[in-house]
């Protein structure tokens, strides 16, 4: 079984709909992250969390929200989806220890299309 699991793998939705992407991990890591990947732009950080109920904005947090109610789960919500939020979304985890916290473990991604 995958250590970092994202659901769903694919989602098509309409403009204005509320969408939630789920991430769960069995690695026991404290730190969790949501990234967005767009062709030619690499990976950009949306939100990150260092512990349960700890939430921090990343580079491109506008239009998104997150929830960290348990160590193993970190969900990403789009309150009112818009077409330019069409992208590949990745959840990642890392340990909190110095020398390890930069080593991210990624899920397989969720391809979101907003029509």
Query: What is the binding site for another protein (CB under 8 A)?
Result: 4, 31, 35, 40-45, 48, 50, 58-59, 90, 92, 94, 99, 101-109
Q: Give least dist CB 15 to another protein, A.
A: 26
> In this complex, which beta carbon is closest to another protein, that of residue 63 or of residue 109?
109
**Alpha-carbon Rg for the chain in angstroms:** 13
Q: Give least dist CB 42 to another protein, A.
A: 4
Q: Give least dist CB 71 to another protein, A.
A: 16
> In this complex, which beta carbon is closest to another protein, that of residue 36 or of residue 85?
36
Assess contact for 85 and 61: CB atoms under 8 A: no
Helix (H, G, I), strand (E, B) or coil at 18: coil
Residue 90's closest CA among 78, 71, 104? 104
Helix (H, G, I), strand (E, B) or coil at 14: coil
């Amino acid at each position: 079984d995958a250590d970092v699991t994202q659901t769903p793998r694919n989602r098509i939705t309409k403009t204005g709909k509320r969408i939630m992407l789920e991430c769960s991990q069995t690695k026991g890591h404290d730190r969790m992250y949501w990234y967005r990947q767009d062709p030619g732009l690499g990976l950009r950080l949306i939100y990150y969390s260092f512990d349960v109920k700890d939430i921090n904005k990343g580079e491109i947090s506008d239009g998104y929200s997150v929830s960290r109610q348990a160590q193993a789960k970190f969900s990403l919500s789009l309150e009112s989806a818009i077409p330019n939020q069409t992208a590949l979304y990745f959840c990642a985890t890392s340990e909190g220890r110095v020398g390890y916290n930069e080593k991210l473990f990624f899920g397989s991604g969720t391809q979101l299309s907003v029509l």
